[in-house]
Amino acid sequence: MINLVLFGPPGAGKGTQAAFLSNEYQLIHLSTGDILREEIAADTKIGQIAKDIICRGELVPDTMVINLIKEQMDKNPTANGFLFDGFPRTVPQAEALDALLVHYGRSVSAMLSLEVEKEELVNRLMNRGTTSGRSDDSNRSVIENRIEVYNEKTAPLIQYYQSTGKYEAVNGIGSIEDITGRLKRCIERVP
């Protein structure tokens, strides 16, 4: 049983790689960004709250995303494992994830951190904005804010996972297949 956190700034390639890895290792792919966008599309109460926050590139309150993750984990009690993509985004979210996994008798196996420098991230997101239909991908100042929010609130998780020996840095530059290969080599080393 394996539970992976796929980590990295916006535009690092988490969603792209999560699709390959969840298939390869038969893991349930949980993307909080995708879940929130579904809530927005369905115009639920959560979606209504999340919409403006996402448009500005800010973070949705911890309790809200933690509850969404818990709901998905509860729905999949016999899962082989989970691949968390875009979650946790803050230290309290990481602590809540640890507590949830303990409840299921599990733990985070590894945190795989895709490393890509800022200029490349902005280029990728601006490019993605032409096809993704995501308002938060098309606006340079929102993209820059998302990267700032990442640096301020999400990057401290590197230390959080380093302290338990779960952190693995992976070069996020190169072809999609090369990066998948690097991630797979890390996963195969997971005890």
Closer residue to Mg ion, CB minimum distance, 15 or 47: 15
Q: Does 10 bind ligand C5P (CB under 6 A)?
A: yes
Q: Does 20 bind Mg ion (CB under 5 A)?
A: no
Q: Map the footprint of Mg ion across residues 28-57, applying CB under 5 A.
A: 33
Looking at 58-66, 74-82, 159-167, 172-180, which segment touches ligand C5P (CB under 6 A)?
58-66
* Helix residue spans in 26-117 (DSSP H): 32-41, 45-56, 62-75, 91-103
Closer residue to Mg ion, CB minimum distance, 106 or 118: 118
Shortest separation between residue 180's beta carbon and ligand C5P, angstroms: 19
Residue 187 to residue 87: CA distance in whole angstroms = 18
Looking at 57-65, 125-133, 161-169, 180-188, which segment touches ligand C5P (CB under 6 A)?
57-65
136 neighbors 25 (Cβ within 8 angstroms): no
If binding means CB under 6 A, how many residues of this protein chain bind ligand C5P? Answer: 16
Closest CA to 117 of 176, 177, 179, 173: 173
Distance (Å) of CA 14 to CA 39, 49, 100, 114: 20, 24, 22, 7
Residues that bind Mg ion (CB under 5 A): 15, 33
